[in-house]
Structure 1
Amino acid sequence: MGRFRELRASGGFVLVAMCLSTFTDNFVYSMVIPILPYLLMNNITSSDEIQQWTSILLAAYGAALLVASPLVGLISDRIQSRKSPLIFGYIAIAVSTSVFLFGHSPALLIIARVCQGLSGAVVGVLSFAIVADTASPEKRGEYMAFVSTSYTWGVISGPVIGGLLFDHFGVHGAFAFPVFMLICDVILRIMILEKDREESLPPLAGEEAPLLPPKDGSKASLHLRDFVDMRFMTAVLSEITISSILAAFETTLPLFTMEAYKWSSTNAGLVFLGISLPSFLSIPLSRYGRDWKRRRTIAIELILAFFPLVALRITDGPSPSHQIGFIALVTGAGLFLTTSQAQVMAEVSDAVREIEVTRGVDPNQRSGMGTGYAFCNMAIAIGQFVGPLIAGYARLYLGWGGMTLVLGGTSAFIGLLSLIVNP
């Protein structure tokens, strides 16, 4: 029994549980993406209106995520257990799944997406914060890469499996798989045995060590103003950019492939594999992340993403060569975006640890990680909110080529800005 308790409290078990939690939450969020146009067709007939409602529904998720994330972060830093609030995430995602099963009007779909946003706030903040609290500095980058990869695969594999299940089994059959995953997720969440926050915190070393000496005196926790830090804010800005582009893909790729290539929802979902497959490279890359400046790597990858993003403008045609080029360029963009996103998650943790020591936070009461990842989750939320709107309306008024130019230009600009202000 003692060995079983040690297993439940081990960093490896916590990592597995949080990876499954992150994957499940984002899988349920994203599996409806290729299904939404077909659900909306029951109430809306205009193609332009379907694109607008698709953008609104994705933006509703981002708005709920944006509002709820800071509350979750502040609460989790001020209570003894980070595990307890996870049950609220389960309740929210259960409600959203039920609404998708039994209500298909635009109003009900908005309610479902808002509940998914609330769940995303809880899981997104707490999963990364719990892993950051339990991982050693040497392992933190690698652990964050695992959680980030789970996040990416949840977001990207959802449309693939969701479209496949919907094509063969309809709405009710499509949601049977996520219901099973939710049950497994809840079991693992309950089994986690948290150590005292004080015991789980590893010492600071290496790249985490502050560049400036700590201030005299100490305090129990960080204030919001303490997070106005160049290193931390650069990581947050990078996450906004990455999340915006990925959310823009989620909004436009299914409808674009339906119109340009006449693909089914299954084929439209499969194209997201091109984005998710390169994310596995973030795990080996993260092992060496402490040997160089992560923020520099993130900035360079954002600049390199400009080229495949802008080149997508030449794929607007029905021929097989256009389709092959489309898949190759989406994969190239996915390589730079997903691997840089994993580095951002590790960079946020290191930046928070640096802020805590620099601000003189009591080492036994380090309580800023939840708030740090709340900011990161808010960055994702901003991206989930503005990305679909910008991409949807850019494609509507500027066309496919104009939209890809906007996305690529934004990525390159933020990458260059990051290199200048935080080299």
Structure 2
Amino acid sequence: MDLNVSPPLTENRGSSESAADGPRRGMSKTQILTLISMASVNFSSMICYSILGPFFPNEAVKKGASQTVVGQIFGCYAVCNLIGALVLGKYIVQIGAKFMLIAGLFVSSGCTIMFGLLDKAPAGATFIALCFIVRSLDALGFAAAMTSSFAITAKIFPNNVATVLGSLEIFTGLGLILGPPVGGWFYHSFGYEVPFMLLGCVLLIMVPFNIYVLPSIEADPSNDSFFGLLTQIRVVLICFVIFTLSSGLGFIDATLSLFAMKTFNLTSGYVGLIMLGLSLPYCLASPLIGYFTDKYPVTRNAFTVTGGIITAAGFFLLGPAPFFHISSYGC
């Protein structure tokens, strides 16, 4: 099946020219409202992803899930997000960018609330199956929201895509920052259900909010193909970089909390604070890197290579790697 990439968009209000000239003349009302909407989507998607890290692995083990199954529950989110983004990117023309974003948020809010009720499910296969189902539907919802948000942003800010996306990554980082400590604190204070109920209600409130603030946008069909892009070596390398970095993030989410609780006897709240070491630098660095890559395009390859080397070094030290001959505490 030939899947299309996110197609170009056309705004109903006829502000394409103002969108192109906006960065030079100051942002228009349409651009400001779009930024608010996209920021809310980025923030909510990441806080939903990261809130599970400090306490869910331990709860899943209590319900009879092995550490391998816990990793698969985290992994199914990424798999469904990938498949959903490809399929929904093809049909965004028929569905409509704004409707896709709103529907995705609505589905995700319902799934987040349902995930908070899974502690009442019977332990064993029933609990595990429900985790996979709810988590997969949640991923499809956010795939719809994120796919449409990237396409809308690229249309409204065609001349400053890297700067705008880098700035929006502040809210992605904030979601990663607030998710673990807030989730861990609410879990430690009120139990399993409260973090998901609270977050699900916030997402539900965001649905009418985005209906109001997001401009009406229509998508135009495109002849470009996703698999056609994969014939270009540069695109394949970029996909590989994104794949490896995302895999590392998922690996930490599935294993770090169990290791920290077992080895160092930490509570879920402290585990959430440990995870700030990943999300806080990400939040601070993203807008700066986005600005520099827009202003100095020649630095893009350098940032990619340097970032990959630093990330690899961090993972070597996290273990630590056996060839360092460093003894791990408690081992």
Normalization by structure 2: what TM-score?
0.79
**For the structure 1 residues 75 and 220, does the alpha-carbon distance in structure 2 shift closer, same or farther, using more than 3 Å as the test?**
closer
2: CA distance between counterparts of 1:37 and 1:10? Answer: 42
- From 40, 61, 69, the equivalent of 1:20 is 40
- The residue that corresponds to 1:161 in the other structure is 182
Instruction: Name the amino acid aligned to 2:99.
Output: S
2: CA distance between counterparts of 1:128 and 1:101? Answer: 29
- Deviation of residue 305 (structure 1)? 2.3
- The residue that corresponds to 1:146 in the other structure is 167
2: CA distance between counterparts of 1:167 and 1:301? Answer: 35
Q: Is the 8 A contact 1:101 1:175 kept in 2?
A: yes
Q: Does 1:306 align with 2:309?
A: no
Q: Does 1:115 align with 2:137?
A: yes
- From 232, 239, 245, the equivalent of 2:248 is 245
- The residue that corresponds to 2:223 in the other structure is 221
Q: Is the 8 A contact 2:113 2:200 kept in 1?
A: no
Q: Is the 8 A contact 1:24 1:185 kept in 2?
A: no
Unaligned 5+ runs, structure 2: 1-14, 19-26, 120-126, 321-325
- Deviation of residue 266 (structure 1)? 0.8
- The residue that corresponds to 2:78 in the other structure is 62
**For the structure 1 residues 116 and 8, does the alpha-carbon distance in structure 2 shift closer, same or farther, using more than 3 Å as the test?**
farther
State which drifts further: 257-266 or 291-300.
Answer: 291-300
2: CA distance between counterparts of 1:243 and 1:224? Answer: 20
2: CA distance between counterparts of 1:262 and 1:113? Answer: 28
Q: Does 1:288 align with 2:292?
A: yes
- From 88, 100, 111, the equivalent of 1:72 is 88
- From 256, 259, 267, the equivalent of 1:256 is 259
- The residue that corresponds to 2:329 in the other structure is 317
- The residue that corresponds to 2:69 in the other structure is 53
- Deviation of residue 297 (structure 1)? 1.5
- The residue that corresponds to 1:106 in the other structure is 128
- From 100, 115, 118, the equivalent of 1:85 is 100
Unaligned 5+ runs, structure 1: 199-218, 319-399, 401-423
- Deviation of residue 81 (structure 1)? 3.3
Instruction: Name the amino acid aligned to 1:316.
Output: S
1: CA distance between counterparts of 2:327 and 2:46? Answer: 29
2:99 aligned counterpart, secondary structure: coil
1: CA distance between counterparts of 2:305 and 2:292? Answer: 17
2: CA distance between counterparts of 1:166 and 1:183? Answer: 21
1: CA distance between counterparts of 2:195 and 2:154? Answer: 34
- The residue that corresponds to 2:53 in the other structure is 33
1: CA distance between counterparts of 2:100 and 2:222? Answer: 22
1: CA distance between counterparts of 2:70 and 2:162? Answer: 35
Instruction: Name the amino acid aligned to 2:90.
Output: L
Q: Is the 8 A contact 1:37 1:50 kept in 2?
A: no
Q: Which has the higher contact order (CA 8 A, sep 6+)?
A: 2
Q: Is the 8 A contact 2:292 2:299 kept in 1?
A: no
- Deviation of residue 160 (structure 1)? 1.7
2: CA distance between counterparts of 1:61 and 1:80? Answer: 23
- Deviation of residue 134 (structure 1)? 0.8
Q: Is the 8 A contact 1:8 1:193 kept in 2?
A: no
List per-residue Cα deviations over 1:220-256 (Å, max 9, x = no partner).
5313343132332222221111111111111111111
List per-residue Cα deviations over 1:82-119 (Å, max 9, x = no partner).
11112331232133223222223222112221112112
- Deviation of residue 274 (structure 1)? 0.8
Instruction: Name the amino acid aligned to 2:72.
Output: I
Identity fraction in percent: 22
